[in-house]
Structure 1
């Protein structure tokens, strides 16, 4: 299975959620996982390299990869039954190297925020992805939600996104990339 964490809008938590999901699959579900960090910033890959200095053993393999390597990644997944492959990509939908990726994944996890720019970018992203791969399931994750703010457009935004896929419960803004690792998941309280 190939799972893509993506959105056209940057800063919505794609890399953070990719690591948390990989941790969950590895620690709780006992699944074999590999992450291919295809984002230009290589934040997941760099985090793993930094943790190796501290002699922490990662739960799963993390590889830096170019988007052009997707066909090779698909072959790896075919050969290894039960392997869950997570891709973290930069979300610019105008990048033609993303087309085969969008066409070849099984599941797209799309974090977003309930703000004007994030919602607009997420709708654009979803329309493009559905045109390229109407078989892929999309799961939208409202992320970095401020618990003290009333989101007046929440219901209407959720209605629009439900035309493209499923929407999870919102995640609070307490989870950030600096507090997570690829060798454990720190406890988080959701108050």
Structure 2
């Protein structure tokens, strides 16, 4: 049995996009690239990904266009939707391991959606047992300061401890405003580099499509869903494919 790669898009500031990135990457890698994915929603107590799956299932029940797309995709890829494990952060690793070791599925990637606070011992332990951490950051003062503080805390207080599994951590530019000057991000990256923090090359734009979910009554293309992959037309210009390629290169999958 192969060992799956444990990944978390993690930061402590709400609004940075960690849950959206987790869902988009899970759906793209599973439904489009064919990788076997397990999602662990341990963002206690709100469990945002579970709520998204529940909404998707309800839309599937009442929206015929959404149901048609779902059934056509299921027939094409011959797969049920990827599983979502709901658990408290302190139990996340044990419960994920139990699923993996059951041997029912040979997972490639396990994606964790963690709570924002790193001061909780259960969260800190779970973070320490990730293989890779991608920390979303935006050119917003509060998000920037919070994400930087989170990354430095992980670097200084988690990655230095014996038994830590983290191989690499990267900052990830999200919600990039096309009107911002490029050199603004380059100056911030110089600060990251001074703090010995790596930055992914791919920058994700601030685009409304990232929030495009299924609708109970409208027959529209969907970008963010736990039951469907991002729509092919909406993928254009999203940089999601480039992000997936860069991450898969880093984790060697």
Does the pair score TM above 0.5?
yes
How many residue pairs align between the two structures?
Answer: 191
1:38 lines up with 2:42 in the alignment = yes
Aligned to 2:159: 133
After the TM superposition, list the runs of 4 or more consecutive aligned residues in structure 1 that deviate by more than 4 angstroms: 55-58
Q: Deviations over 1:111-156 (max 9, x none)?
A: 1101221121111111111231254311222111111232653112
Higher percent of residues as helix:
2
**Alignment counterpart, residue 17 of structure 2, candidates 13, 17, 36:** 13
CA distance in 2, matches of 1:29, 1:97: 32
Greater share of strand = 1
Is the counterpart of residue 60 in structure 1 residue 82 in structure 2?
A: yes
| Larger CA deviation: 180-189 vs 121-130 | 180-189
Query: Which residue in the other structure is 1:23 paired with?
Result: 27
- Structure 2 residue runs of 5 or longer lacking an equivalent are 62-66, 71-79, 161-165, 214-223, 239-253
TM-score by length of 1: 0.88
Q: 1:183 aligns with which of 195, 212, 227?
A: 227
Q: Gapped runs of 5+ residues in structure 1?
A: none
Output the TM-score relative to the length of structure 2.
0.68
Which residue, out of 83, 86, 98, partners 2:123? 98
Distance 1:74 1:182, change over 3 A: closer
Task: Determine the C-alpha separation between the residues in 2 that align with 1:103 and 1:77.
Answer: 20
Equivalent pair of 1:161/1:167 in contact (CA under 8 Å)? no
Counterpart for residue 76 of structure 1: 98
Q: Which residue of 1 aligns with 2:142?
A: 117
RMSD: 2.2
